[in-house]
Amino acid sequence: MHSKSFFTRFLIWRYKHISDKNFTYFLSIVVGLVSGLAAVTLKNLTHLIASTLESSETIGNYHTYFYFIFPFIGLALVLFVKKVLLKQEVGHGIPLALFSLSQREGKMKRKNLISSLLTAPLTVGFGGSVGLEGPSVATGASFGSNIAQLFHVKAHTRKLLLVCAAAGSLSAIFKAPIAAILFAIEVFSLDLTFASLLPLLFASVSAVVTRMLFIGEQYILDFHNIQGFEIIDLLFYIALGILTAVFSIYFTKVYFSTEKYFSSIKNDYLKISIAGILLGALMFTVPPLYGEGFNFINNLIFEDTQTAFQHFFFPEWLGEPWLVILLILGLILLKPLATAITLSSGGVGGVFAPVLFLGAVTGNFFVAICNQLGFNLSVSNFTMIGMAGMMAGVLHAPLTAMFLIAEITGGYELFVPLMLTVAISFIISKTNTDYNIYTKELKEKNELLTHDKDHNVLTLLKLDSIIENNFISITPKMSLKEILHHAVAKSKRNLYPVLNTEKELIGVITLDDIREIMLDPKLQESLLAEFIMHDAPGYIYYGKDSARQVMNKFENTAAWNLPVIDQNGKYMGFISKSKLLTAYRQKLITF
């Protein structure tokens, strides 16, 4: 009681002495620090598990053979944690945060604070072909949401802090604060205003400083030999943009096809068994698919194919350049499958790392072919820009792609080819698929927030608050006289729903329908409601129709009131156009 009283007194003191703006700045710094700590914790736990598995004398001697069993063990442990410890599913990080923004007013459950911390290191540490950025975002965003709820800040501030935490997580994982801010703008559709920019800056900087304190200055990728842009290479960068777009589309289609297959399997134990066998076979045959793959990327950059493919069964093939090119092509084709299987079967991880891996091997594949044909292109340049092109194509975040790759590689001098390749890849992939891995489900349900303010307001508008049920209902066997006494005389509305015994709407009667006949004594006794009623001009289906669809129905029918039907076909009430427009205006002001 004393601590609660103290906290209450603190809140009162805060309201009196600290403005909302300054308190938001303070919370954004705290959110950034915690997001950075979460990212460092995830990274260290994962590397601890991975290094423990590899350093064991028994396992180390036969490490290649254990590739077959490790992914299954990881998935089994994750399933155990979900069912026994958490007793809930663990959503994918960024889609979970996006859903919270669009459908839950930025509120996330407290269990999300630890769920990814417990499950992601098991997934990736045991070889799951995914990254850590998604779980890091989920953990940071959950903290941002919950600390906002703790201090009772306004809904728009809570959403801002959630996005700040997500940006801080990405900033800490990749040591890329600028890209993290752009990520918040592109993926979370945050409006870049003065009110949002400073909290984003504070969160990103504090997160990256936290990372540097615990991990140091090093980058995850070592681009040591980046060359300046030469105009003679322009056509090659254009070709690389087209190639990354093609493989981006391939990645997306493989991901969703695999997800659809595994979603049809309802037994979790069968699901991880199938996934474990498939992942084991893939990683036993192609060891570079194991884990995040950043060490493999660095070996490609150094052109050290012997180390990159050190666990390959036929090392004598590595002296043949074209065979190495075919091996890299195999990685390009199999990496999306390994990633999709890991995530679709219940593994917890992110797609940033797989996309970077795929982009690096695509760029390396392209430059290797060109150099074998007699050209002299920079391996580092095209490997780096391949990552940016792939990220723009898969994630539909071109600005994030450019600045993330520039920040983690130090390749700012290549901004011209970065922009060119990224733009081409983004345009082609966006034309083919209007959604990305994060947004597909929300977009199909019309629940995705975008930079279109009108669309966002309608997305955030909930129908529950505008359904009116003060209409007096009548039955089909009521006479006109009963309708007049029971409904017309007692109702302030000019619309009367006709319901059967199952409370299902079978028609409507308006005051205009009976105005000319309601004073006729003969008709009052003989005319029944079922002969007067008619169908409503349209229907609103609760739980299925979004506010935008409701708005379209009013425009298409020119109606002033439309009935609402629940998922069981029962009548719920009416929504009026005036009520909808009033709610829209109020939400627009708040938004």
For the chain, give the longest Cα–Cα distance: 103
Regions of the chain where pLDDT drops below 50: 1
CA distance 385 to 392: 11
Amino acid identity at 274: I
For residues 428 and 558, membership in a common domain is answered with no
What's the domain range around 65? 18-214
535 phi/psi in degrees, rounded to 5: -70, 150
pTM of the model: 0.78
For residues 103 and 136, membership in a common domain is answered with yes
Q: Is residue 275 part of a domain?
A: yes
Q: Is residue 363 part of a domain?
A: yes
For residues 470 and 578, membership in a common domain is answered with yes
Q: Which of 39, 103, 45 is nearest to 74 (CA)?
A: 45
pLDDT of 397-436, one tens digit each? 899 888 888 887 776 778 888 999 999 999 999 888 877 7
Rounded to 10 degrees, what is the CA torsion of 480, 482, 483, 484? 90
Cα dist. 510→100, 429, 488, 498, 534 in Å?
41, 51, 10, 11, 9
Q: What is the CATH number of the domain that holds 437?
A: 1.10.3080.10
Domain boundary among 183, 214, 245: 214
For residues 265 and 413, membership in a common domain is answered with yes
For residues 381 and 422, membership in a common domain is answered with yes
Domain boundary among 214, 244, 263: 214
For residues 464 and 440, membership in a common domain is answered with no
Q: 244: which residues sit within 8 A by CB, 6+ positions away?
A: 359, 362, 363, 386, 389, 390, 392, 393, 421, 425
Q: 498: which residues sit within 8 A by CB, 6+ positions away?
A: 473, 474, 475, 476, 505, 506, 507, 508, 509, 529, 530, 533
Q: Is residue 87 part of a domain?
A: yes
Q: Is residue 475 part of a domain?
A: yes
For residues 134 and 183, membership in a common domain is answered with yes
Q: Looking at the 3D structure of the chain, how many domains does it have?
A: 3
Q: Is residue 408 part of a domain?
A: yes
The per-residue pLDDT for 1 is 47
Q: Which of 238, 137, 130 is nearest to 180 (CA)?
A: 137
For residues 315 and 383, membership in a common domain is answered with yes
For residues 45 and 177, membership in a common domain is answered with yes
For residues 288 and 332, membership in a common domain is answered with yes
Average of per-residue pLDDT values in the chain: 82
CB atoms closer than 10 angstroms to residue 470 = 9
Q: Is residue 1 part of a domain?
A: no
507 phi/psi in degrees, rounded to 5: 175, 175
Q: Which long-range contacts (CB under 8 A, 24 or more apart) does 44-49 make?
A: 44/214, 45/117, 45/121, 45/125, 46/120, 46/121, 46/124, 46/125, 46/132, 47/125, 48/121, 48/125, 49/121, 49/122, 49/125, 49/126
CA distance 408 to 223: 9
Q: Is residue 12 part of a domain?
A: no
Burial 56-65 (b: 16+ CB within 10 A, else e): eeeeeeebee
Q: What is the CATH number of the domain that holds 479?
A: 3.10.580.10
For residues 64 and 167, membership in a common domain is answered with yes
Q: Is residue 334 part of a domain?
A: yes
For residues 131 and 34, membership in a common domain is answered with yes
CA distance 9 to 17: 12
Q: What is the side-by-side strand order in the sheet with 571-576?
A: 540-541, 561-565, 571-576
The per-residue pLDDT for 325 is 86
Domain boundary among 159, 181, 214: 214
CB atoms closer than 10 angstroms to residue 453 = 13
